[in-house]
Amino acid sequence: MAEEVVPTGEVRAALSQITKRFDAGDPEPVFFGSHRRAQAVLVPIATWEKLLAHAEDELDLDTARRRLADSRPWLDQEELDAAVAGLMEKAAGRRPV
């Protein structure tokens, strides 16, 4: 995965140069850590936002697939309203701790 792992101390010293590189449009991430083992990565914010959006889409897709695979019957609006009202009544009857 990480082609080159930069020692953490070097990244700390070069942080302003790395951010300038990102501002100039360089999309390459910087892997850093100790003992040649990647422990973290710096990426431009645009890359982070794309990764985050992709991860959120994957979670949504997974949720949709699970719900579509659920063979239990769906509640209609009337049944849902009755269930919510029952839960609210039950919660109102409880004493606060």
Q: Which residues lie below 8 Å from residue 13, measured CB to CB, with a gap of 6+? A: none
Claim to verify: residue 96 and residue 49 sit in the same structural domain: yes
- What's the confidence (pLDDT) of residue 86? 92
Q: What pTM was estimated for this model as a whole?
A: 0.62
Q: Would you say 11 and 32 are in contact if contact means Cβ atoms under 8 Å apart? A: yes
Q: Give 84's pLDDT tier (boundaries 50, 70, 90).
A: very high
State both tokens at 9.
């101390």
pLDDT higher than threshold 80 for residue 44: yes
- What's the confidence (pLDDT) of residue 73? 85
Q: Nearest-CA neighbor of 2 among 29, 23, 24? A: 29
Claim to verify: residue 21 and residue 52 sit in the same structural domain: no
- Cα distances (angstroms) measured from residue 94 to each of 20, 84, 97: 58, 16, 9
Claim to verify: residue 29 and residue 63 sit in the same structural domain: no
Count how many domains the chain has: 2
- What's the confidence (pLDDT) of residue 94? 73
Which of 29-38, 55-64, 66-75 is least confident? 66-75
Task: Residue 2: give the domain boundaries.
Answer: 1-43
pLDDT higher than threshold 70 for residue 52: yes
Rounded to whole angstroms, how far apart are CA atoms 26 and 73? 51
Claim to verify: residue 29 and residue 19 sit in the same structural domain: yes
Claim to verify: residue 26 and residue 58 sit in the same structural domain: no
Claim to verify: residue 35 and residue 52 sit in the same structural domain: no
- What's the confidence (pLDDT) of residue 95? 62
